Amino acid sequence: MVSLHSYLILSAILFSIGTIGVLIRRNAIVIFMCVEMMLNSVNLTFIALSKHLGNVDGQIFVFFVMTVAAAEAAVGLALMIAFYKNRESIDVEDIKLMRL
Amino acid sequence: METFFFMIVAAVAVLASILVITCKNPINSALSLILTFFCLATLYVTLDAPFMAAIQVLVYAGAIMVLIVFVIMLLNVRTESGRRSSHSVLFGSLIGLFSLFQLFYLFNRSSLTGQKGAIDSALINKVGHTELIGKALYTDFLLPFEVTSILLLVAIIGAVVLTKKKI
């Protein structure tokens, strides 16, 4: 029997790797994929706790997180295409129009 | 046996997620991320949530990752050049490791409490996981479910407006 703590620790590791990826990568699409990974680790926490507590509500929230991720994918990738049309690059260091 | 299986799947998931942030080519990152999603779907099955595993494979590995790979290929993104500053790598890793230690500390110090619900694996095997999810979704969570459809509509319109040349 795998304990709840194993699932929570795996989810913490995945979340931290996602955080590191968001902070160190410069390619906007890879940053985007790291955000998806963080959302997935939170989903794992939801489902593990849902089983631990014997309650199905956590899994409903996983459903909503997935919907938000899908909407985010559509809008985020459209933004990247719009930026690429103007700058020929999706490097986040080139996104500096509003920088002081 | 179950612990051994969990260890293997967890190790593959962590290795694939490390590959996501270390690969130079975005396509390789995307393929590693798909592997991570499949490992998580496997864990959902072991957690008595087969419907969530199916949704994970269909929505994440199927729809979202296809969209991401499509955009990577459409934009023809080159591999990252080596002019990455070492400061950002150092500080990013430090912040990530700090958050990891913080989470471990939280898990070790706190005890999990909460009201136990009525749903266990015997009930899930008898009634079916999809039916339980559907009942909760269409009774207790009906309003959030409807709001979700509006969110998706807004996302579709936003994506079309952003990528169109002239509106």
User: Would you say residue B105 lies in a domain?
Assistant: no
Number of domains comprising chain B = 2
Dmax over CA atoms of chain B, in Å, equals 60
pLDDT band at B163, cuts 50/70/90?
confident
- Give me B20's structure tokens: 């996501």
Give me chain B's average pLDDT, please.
88
User: Would you say residue A12 lies in a domain?
Assistant: yes
Residues of chain B with Cβ-Cβ distance to A67 below 8 Å are 148, 151-152
pLDDT band at B101, cuts 50/70/90?
very high
What mean pLDDT comes out for the span B38-59?
A: 93
Q: How is chain A split among helix, strand and coil, in percent rounded to 5? A: 80, 0, 15
User: Would you say residue A100 lies in a domain?
Assistant: no
Higher pLDDT pick, B136 / B81 = B136
Q: Of all residues in chain A, what percent carry a pLDDT higher than 90? A: 62
Least confident of A11-15, B116-120, B143-147: B116-120
Residues of chain B with Cβ-Cβ distance to A76 below 8 Å are none
- Say which residue the tokens 């969209």 belong to: B67
Q: CB neighbours (10 Å) of residue B17? A: 29
Higher pLDDT pick, A94 / B136 = B136
User: Would you say residue B156 lies in a domain?
Assistant: yes
Q: Of the candidates A1, A13, A20, which has its C-beta nearest B92's C-beta?
A: A20
User: Would you say residue B35 lies in a domain?
Assistant: yes
Is the domain of B15 the same as that of B71?
A: yes
Q: Look at residue B110 and tell me whether its pLDDT is greater than 90.
A: no
What mean pLDDT comes out for the span B99-122?
A: 84
User: Would you say residue A47 lies in a domain?
Assistant: yes
Is the domain of B72 the same as that of B127?
A: no
Range of the domain at A33: 4-95
Q: Look at residue B4 and tell me whether its pLDDT is greater than 90.
A: yes
Name the residue in chain A with its Cα closest to that of B29.
A30
Per-residue model confidence (pLDDT) at position B100: 92
Number of domains comprising chain A = 1
User: Would you say residue B162 lies in a domain?
Assistant: yes
Q: Of the candidates B55, B95, B120, which has its C-beta nearest A23's C-beta?
A: B95
Is the domain of B66 the same as that of B130?
A: no
User: Would you say residue B144 lies in a domain?
Assistant: yes
Q: Of the candidates A5, A25, A75, which has its C-beta nearest B21's C-beta?
A: A25
Q: Of the candidates B48, B55, B72, which has its C-beta nearest A66's C-beta?
A: B55
Q: Which residues of chain A have pLDDT under 50?
A: none
Per-residue model confidence (pLDDT) at position B21: 92
Residues of chain A with Cβ-Cβ distance to B49 below 8 Å are 47, 50-51, 59
Is the domain of B68 the same as that of B1?
A: yes
Q: Using the beta-carbon criterion (under 8 Å), do B152 and A29 form an inter-chain contact?
A: no
Asked if B162 and B156 count as a contact pair (C-beta separation under 8 A), the reply is no
Residues of chain A with Cβ-Cβ distance to B74 below 8 Å are 81
A7 to chain B, minimum CA–CA distance in Å?
9
Is the domain of B58 the same as that of B2?
A: yes
Indicate the pTM of the whole model.
0.91
User: Would you say residue A46 lies in a domain?
Assistant: yes
Per-residue model confidence (pLDDT) at position B146: 95
What B150-156 contacts at long range (C-beta under 8 Å, 24+ apart), as own/partner pairs, is B151/A67, B151/A68, B151/A71, B152/A67, B152/A70, B152/A71, B154/A71, B155/A70, B155/A71, B155/A72, B155/A74, B155/A75, B156/A74
Q: Using the beta-carbon criterion (under 8 Å), do B151 and A4 form an inter-chain contact?
A: no
User: Would you say residue B82 lies in a domain?
Assistant: no
User: Would you say residue A71 lies in a domain?
Assistant: yes
Range of the domain at B160: 123-166
Q: Look at residue B142 and tell me whether its pLDDT is greater than 90.
A: yes
Task: Give B165's DSSP letter.
Answer: S
Q: Using the beta-carbon criterion (under 8 Å), do B155 and A79 form an inter-chain contact?
A: no
What is the domain-level CATH number for residue A39? 1.10.287.3510
What is the domain-level CATH number for residue B10? 1.20.120.1200
Where a domain ends, among B41, B76, B111?
Answer: B76
Per-residue model confidence (pLDDT) at position B166: 65
Task: For chain B, say whether A70 makes contact (Cβ under 8 Å).
Answer: yes
